[in-house]
Amino acid sequence: MRKFSEIVKLAEKHHGKAGLAKRLAENAKKPAVKRQSDDRWLAAMAQAAFSAGFSWDVIEKKWPGFEEAFDRFDPHKVAFYADREVARLLKDTRIVRNGAKIQATINNAQFVIDTAKEHGSFTAFLKSWPANDQIGLMEHFKKHASHLGPSATMYFLRFNGWDSFILSQDVTKALIREKIVSKAPTSKADMKAVQAAFNSWTEQSGLPQRDVSRILSFSVGSSA
């Protein structure tokens, strides 16, 4: 495992020092969990779940219809959807009519309600979770949320301001190159090793894990 300064040099080799700086400047604002109401958190979960394995562009274009169909994602309404509401949604052409993901959104409404009841709000819950334990947060989502796999959860967190690394194809290649893992990480042991590496590189660089993740991705190339 190289020092992060060496990984930065690899990224600069492939993109140029100015090129790397430009790429990082595209999202220079420090990660911060969005302060938003619980209905927006449920909406964000639904968008991540419905986009998984599907075209993000299609979901984005249909999103106003999703908002209308799901009562603006009011968790206290969605959590109590029964068979009649599910049947209605399965016929609603404004949304992607995927029964499993519709049910997942209903389940996630209860997850949001329960979390907000315990922590005051879903925002407060995410703000309280330490950035050096992303794998713990992902395990929490795996246990309590529905239809949010590792990839969907990482993008959900990143898009909503939580300081998330994303195990993209290039980041995974970089982790294998650095001998953190030998293949795409799926086991608890591999994920623990990935978290330890990110924590180490974050400490070395002073950068958020989001940017460590991005630089790892930029460091991948034929001569890396």
Condensed to tens digits (0 to 9), the pLDDT of residues 104-161 reads 999 999 999 999 999 999 999 999 999 999 999 999 999 999 999 999 999 999 999 9
Ranges of each domain in the chain? 4-31+165-218, 38-150
- How would residue 222 be classed by pLDDT, with cut points 50, 70 and 90? very low
Per-residue pLDDT at 175: 98
CATH superfamily of 38-150: Hypothetical protein; domain 2 (1.10.340.30)
SS3 readout for the chain = CCCHHHHHHHHHHHHCHHHHHHHHHCCCCCCCCCCCCHHHHHHHHHHHHHHCCCCHHHHHHHHHHHHHHCHHHCHHHHCCCCHHHHHHHHCCCCCCCCHHHHHHHHHHHHHHHHHHHHHCCHHHHHHHCCHHHHHHHHHHHHHHCCCCCHHHHHHHHHHCCCCCCCCCHHHHHHHHHCCCCCCCCCCHHHHHHHHHHHHHHHHHHCCCHHHHHHHHHHCCCCCC
Mean of the per-residue pLDDT values of the chain:
95
pLDDT at 223: 40
